[in-house]
């Protein structure tokens, strides 16, 4: 079952193409990551899927709806966490949840949601007294209170300190546990690697690579490094066994030691930087 289906999606602002014909599918229950630097078209793509923006071309289906036509029935089934949305500073955490629960036909139990996002002890606290991380949890709680099948998370941890990021990751993992489909955008590689079942890497409005994080890394070549006469030699090869065998055999024959010999698989970061580098426009 597909939750999201995108075919040849295009969007321009004032003649500049922000999204240039991208296609991908997200299965029900999947956590899908859109990864890319700022300006790659992540937010534009997500906002088209959320129904905030109209597309210029292509086919889009979200939970069987066309998000280009705003329908209440569609809004009942999605939850959106924006990059930034202020809450009412003088309402309490519980009141904020109650207010948003009132917009949905079949909301979840308010106290359950407050508990789920870890704000149980803060339920009676005014929003203005919350820390940055707690406000983010509140945003997530508000997005979950309508019991959505699909949750959009736009850069959920931008600006977080490492501890708050790990907490936020735990929350996203708990969404998977609830069986929600999640579409998240991020420009952090480790975040995509930690959270997403599959990742699409966006660059300048195009998908340059897509797959499971492990596959993306596996698709790259292996790197062999050693020093010769004080200079570092780097060999990249899709066949590391053969390359290493040839290299060590030659060194043994010459009676040399391969100083600083190192064999490593590139990290997602290496792959990503390479993707960003290739004939960049």
Partner 1 sequence: MRLLAHQFRTEQLVFWRSREAAVFIFIFPIMLFLLLGSVYDGRTDEGWELSDTLLVGLIGYGAANTAFAGLAITLVIRREGGHLKRLRGTPLPAPIYGLAVLGSILAVFFLQTLVLIAMGKVLFGAHVPERPFSLLVAVVVGALSFAGMGVAAAALIRSAEGASAVVNVIVLPMAFLSGSFGPTRDLPQALDTLGDVLPLKHLLDVIGGIYLENESVVADPASLSVVVAWGLAGMVVAIRRFGWEPRER
Residues that bind partner 1 (CB under 8 A): 50-52, 72, 75-76, 78, 80, 82, 84-91, 95, 99-100, 102-105, 142, 146
Residue 121 per-residue DSSP state: G
CB of 209 to partner 1, least distance (A): 28
For partner 1, the closer CB: 91 or 125? 91
- Report the distance separating Cα 59 and Cα 65, nearest Å: 11
Q: How many angstroms separate the first and last alpha carbons of the chain?
A: 36
User: How distant is the alpha carbon of residue 125 from its chain centre?
Assistant: 31
For partner 1, the closer CB: 143 or 195? 143
For partner 1, the closer CB: 103 or 173? 103
CB of 78 to partner 1, least distance (A): 7
Query: Is residue 253 exposed (0-12), middle (13-18) or buried (19+ Cβ within 10 Å)?
Result: exposed
- Report the distance separating Cα 98 and Cα 109, nearest Å: 9
For partner 1, the closer CB: 152 or 272? 152
For partner 1, the closer CB: 91 or 261? 91
Closest residue by Cα to residue 2 from 35, 34, 29: 29
What residues have CB less than 8 Å from 94, skipping those under 6 apart?
A: 110, 111, 114, 123, 124
What residues have CB less than 8 Å from 127, skipping those under 6 apart?
A: 87, 88, 89, 90, 91, 92, 93, 96, 135, 138
């Amino acid at each position: 079952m597909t939750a999201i289906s995108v075919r040849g999606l295009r969007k321009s602002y004032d003649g500049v193409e922000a999204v240039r014909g991208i296609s991908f599918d997200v299965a029900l229950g999947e956590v899908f990551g859109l990864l890319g630097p700022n300006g790659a078209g992540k937010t534009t793509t997500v906002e088209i899927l959320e129904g905030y923006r109209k597309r210029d071309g292509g086919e889009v289906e979200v939970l069987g709806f066309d998000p280009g036509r705003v329908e209440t029935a569609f809004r009942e089934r999605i939850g959106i966490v924006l990059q930034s949305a202020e809450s009412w500073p003088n309402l309490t955490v519980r009141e904020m949840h109650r207010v948003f629960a009132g917009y949905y036909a079949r909301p979840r139990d308010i106290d359950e949601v407050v508990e789920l996002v870890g704000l149980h002890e803060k339920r009676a606290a005014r929003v203005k007294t919350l820390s940055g991380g707690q406000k983010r949890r509140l945003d997530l709680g508000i997005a979950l209170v309508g019991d959505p099948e699909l949750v959009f998370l736009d850069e959920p941890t931008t600006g977080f300190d490492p501890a708050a990021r790990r907490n936020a990751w735990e929350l996203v993992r708990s969404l998977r546990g609830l069986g929600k489909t999640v579409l998240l955008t991020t420009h952090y590689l480790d975040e995509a690697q930690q959270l997403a079942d599959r990742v699409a890497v966006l660059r300048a409005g195009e998908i340059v690579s897509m797959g499971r994080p492990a596959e993306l890394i596996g698709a790259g070549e292996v790197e062999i490094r050693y020093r010769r006469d004080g200079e570092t030699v780097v060999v990249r090869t899709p066949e590391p066994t053969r390359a290493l065998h040839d290299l060590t055999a030659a060194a043994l024959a010459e009676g040399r030691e391969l100083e600083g010999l190192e064999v490593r698989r590139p990290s997602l970061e290496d792959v990503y930087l390479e993707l960003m580098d290739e004939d960049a426009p």
